[in-house]
Structure 1
Amino acid sequence: MALPWKLHGDGREVGASEIVQPEERLSWPRTVGFGAQHVIAMFGATFLVPRITGFDPSATLLFSGLGTLLFLLITRNRLPSYLGSSFAFLAPIGAATAAAGQGAALAGVIVVGVLLMIVGAIVHRVGTRWIDVLMPPVVSGAIVALIGFNLAPAAKTNFEASPLIATITLLAIILSAVLFKGLLGRLSIIIGVVVGTIAAAIAGEFDLGAFNEAPLLGLPVFTLPEFSPQHLTIYLMFLPVVLALVAENVGHIKGVGQLIDRDLSPLTGRALFADGLASTIAGLGGGSPTTTYGENIGVMSATRVFSTAAYWVAGIVAILLALSPKVGALIFAIPEGVLGGVTTALYGLIGIIGVRIWVENRVDFSKPKNQLTAGVALIMAIADFTVSGGGMTFTGIILGTVAALVVYHLMSALARWRGTEDERLT
């Protein structure tokens, strides 16, 4: 059976004004090299999620690779993307694990995955207009931002475990992002981890005992989800993540479309369904839930190679890495102080992605409805407001998400009722 990619030019070079389209490829040695670049680009963020949540790193890599291959199949090799670990799940996973264990957290992941699949099926059928109406940029930006900023206390805890190592790690991330360009600049997280780990080793805070004892080859450790009617509140904590994943996927599709000068919006439903399916499968086996990765868009932008063939290589490499317990043991050996520096940067960057949505869509914050939508939602999430009643507890992420939706649509409805074009309730 013939492979679906046609050779770009002579397969060796990419002209200054050319790009390698998703249905094209370079020579296979070069394609493998670009695939390896995508593995490196995604690895820094992908492995941190299982290190933070306690999920098995090898299972995370396995389901990440499998999810990527499924994504490429479902989007018919027309949307280049790698599905790495999603940071949007960190807060509900942490809360669910603390309250009821990893099995309950994995059940929450599956709930989100199934809902995202449903959203994808609806979008494929009726289009994305209803998403734009439900979540205009001020709302989607607020939801993405509040998920990142809600994690601030966790970053503080990690940082305080070893302030010196955390500071060295954070400085390494900042300096590498500023001093390096291209791929190296996009690998600032990995560089920070390496520098911080070296500093931790010098300080005697790096233990490789588990790595030395782990076998070279072996299957990941799989964990099954645990569903229970008593965990309804836990599942509700995960619901805002669906909205964040929709925003991330839509942003990814628009970003890639702009870079290759194509309208990829007809693939939105397929992309959402594929991401939901990948997260669902990961939840069934104990892997971290997935999302599209901006790091890999950066690699494509820098190399001008958008071939989905490179992503097939990346997915296969991730699966192969998952079959080495030593990889997982090395990830779990990362010192707490290093995590402190990395999470301080990463959680802040997640929050800023929401701010970026506001900037790119030119949200007008002179309007009270936009001010209050963002302000109320962020305060509820950052302070982690908690409301209990009827045997259920709602925390900052879900309260902030509900607040963003209610405040925006309530104020919009009142403005329309009053006929005020500038939507000011004065």
Structure 2
Amino acid sequence: MPIWTLHGNGRTVAPGQVVGPDERLSWPATIAVGVQHVIAMFGATFLVPVLTGFPVSTTLLFSGIGTLLFLVITKNKLPSYLGSSFAFIAPVTAATATAGMGSALAGIVAVGLLLVVVGVIVQIAGLGWIDRLMPPVVSGSIVALIGFNLAPVAWSNFREAPLTGTVTLSAVILFSVLFRGFLGRISIFLGVIVGYAFAAMVGELDFSSVADASWVGLPEFHVADLTSPGTWGVIAMFLPVVLVLIAENVGHVRGVATMTGAAVNAQTGRALIADGVATTLAGGFGGSGTTTYGENIGVMAATRVYSTAAYWVAGVTAVLLSLSPKVGAVFNTIPMGVLGGVTTALYGLIGIIGIKIWVDNRVDFSRPVNQYTGAVALVIAIAGFTMQWGDFQLGAIVIGAASALLIYHLGNLIARWRRTGADDGGPLPVIGPLGGDPT
């Protein structure tokens, strides 16, 4: 077990100071902060398996184990909780419907292994190649298209119980607007609670499975299917998720470094490796793919406690919760109307996060290459484009992500060639559809 230095008197954090990763408060205070991290991650982490049909308890188990592995692999220098990644919802939903849960889990395993490879490369060569491969206009497009691709799923859930969906959605929005700090960051979780209570009032809940579930027991495990003929087509559908996980992990490390010191940035490669290992393990046995959590960054910012000790507490707590089948059964009683309301907000927010990447990085949309990079990718995702060759199918996410990468890089390659002149010595004619400099 790692040894942490006691911060100050162990009870309070002085103004302008933070509790660093190698420090801790007193153990009662550390346990309290760790449990708070579990509460912060809970709403989002349980929602992913509920939406995809994966066992909730299994996801919680691998979320906790993944967090502990993350701390070990990053040498206890990077505070982070690994919860369920929303980026997996769309490919898992599509893969489960067409090829079954085993193939969907194989896709998660493939993402995890590829993320490990990327982490090793980053650890050796640095982050520059990622910035060149996936500049803000491309990364923003990929994140946005994953969210917007899920819009039909949200509507499918919402229309099952429109009134309950409306109450849930309204509660999510009101909590996010009315509350600041920690409560504002868990507005989705609070909205689910309100929607659940309303569903209970109008008789939409079925507790029979809860009564039958035992208090203590192992989660339900499923094994990834790596041999079925359709699995390789499924794996292709998952690969763009790697780009999202890279962006999330890099952003997490930089966020922690801002508050605790630039030395944390040296853990970026290890963070990617750790998330890849956790995702691979989860996918191999029936859990959802993982990622670092913004909700927990919010808790650290609010408490100014960046101690990894709190995350050891959080990881162990999640594992203990996963060993109660009754907990999982309660979450499986959430009705479709509640899911419809919360996913209407949630999937839209994923799309907005992508657009925020554009805004924060001041992407120049007077350039046609940037216009088409975003425009084509989003239309492909929203419309649900597919391409199929026999048993091999590419879904909207992989087509949209590939389009964003190809349009951006080929467009810029052509623009550079035009600036230097074509073979005949003359420039290539380029017309910008919305005006402005075509390059």
For the superposition of Structure 1 and Structure 2, which TM-score range results when normalised by the shorter chain?
Answer: over 0.9
**In structure 1, what is the equivalent of residue 129 of structure 2?**
130
**In structure 2, what is the equivalent of residue 157 of structure 1?**
156
SS, match of residue 291 in structure 1: strand
TM-score normalised by L of structure 1? 0.97
User: How far, CA to CA, are the matches of 1:390 and 1:425 in structure 2?
Assistant: 39
Per-residue deviation, 1:277:
0.4
Written as runs of structure 1 = structure 2, the 5 A alignment for 1:55-134 is 55-134=54-133
TM-score normalised by L of structure 2? 0.94
User: How far, CA to CA, are the matches of 1:377 and 1:266 in structure 2?
Assistant: 33
User: How far, CA to CA, are the matches of 1:389 and 1:282 in structure 2?
Assistant: 30
Per-residue CA distance 1:147-174 (angstroms, 9 max, x = gap) = 1110000001011110000000011111
Report if the CA contact (8 A) 1:415-1:424 is conserved: no
**In structure 2, what is the equivalent of residue 348 of structure 1?**
348
Per-residue deviation, 1:390:
5.0
Supply the AA of the counterpart residue of 1:15: A
SS, match of residue 393 in structure 2: strand
Per-residue deviation, 1:90:
0.8
User: How far, CA to CA, are the matches of 1:243 and 1:96 in structure 2?
Assistant: 19
**In structure 2, what is the equivalent of residue 376 of structure 1?**
376
For structure 1, the 5+ residue unaligned runs are none
**In structure 1, what is the equivalent of residue 438 of structure 2?**
425
**In structure 2, what is the equivalent of residue 411 of structure 1?**
411
SS, match of residue 287 in structure 1: coil
Per-residue deviation, 1:263:
4.3
Tell whether 2:397 aligns with 1:397. Answer: yes
Report if the CA contact (8 A) 2:18-2:259 is conserved: no
Written as runs of structure 1 = structure 2, the 5 A alignment for 1:274-289 is 274-289=274-289
Report if the CA contact (8 A) 1:239-1:398 is conserved: yes
SS, match of residue 225 in structure 1: coil
SS, match of residue 218 in structure 2: coil
**In structure 2, what is the equivalent of residue 256 of structure 1?**
256
**In structure 1, what is the equivalent of residue 176 of structure 2?**
177
Q: Larger Rg: 1 or 2?
A: 2
Supply the AA of the counterpart residue of 1:159: F
Report if the CA contact (8 A) 1:170-1:341 is conserved: yes
**In structure 1, what is the equivalent of residue 306 of structure 2?**
306
**In structure 2, what is the equivalent of residue 31 of structure 1?**
30
SS, match of residue 16 in structure 1: coil
Per-residue CA distance 1:184-239 (angstroms, 9 max, x = gap) = 11121111111101100110001111112211101001011111243211111011
* CA RMSD, Structure 1 to Structure 2 (Å): 1.5
User: How far, CA to CA, are the matches of 1:297 and 1:412 in structure 2?
Assistant: 36
**In structure 2, what is the equivalent of residue 329 of structure 1?**
329
User: How far, CA to CA, are the matches of 1:284 and 1:239 in structure 2?
Assistant: 16
User: How far, CA to CA, are the matches of 2:204 and 2:340 in structure 1?
Assistant: 13
Q: Could you tell which deviates more after superposition, 206-215 or 260-269?
A: 260-269
Sort the Cα spacing of 1:52 and 1:128 in 2 relative to 1 into closer, same or farther, 3 A: same
Q: Could you tell which deviates more after superposition, 42-51 or 93-102?
A: 93-102
Per-residue deviation, 1:391:
4.2
Per-residue CA distance 1:324-382 (angstroms, 9 max, x = gap) = 00110011011111001111111111111111211222212222111111111111111
Report if the CA contact (8 A) 1:369-1:424 is conserved: no
Supply the AA of the counterpart residue of 2:197: I
Per-residue CA distance 1:56-85 (angstroms, 9 max, x = gap) = 111100000000000011111111110000
Supply the AA of the counterpart residue of 1:247: A
User: How far, CA to CA, are the matches of 1:178 and 1:62 in structure 2?
Assistant: 32
User: How far, CA to CA, are the matches of 1:266 and 1:419 in structure 2?
Assistant: 38
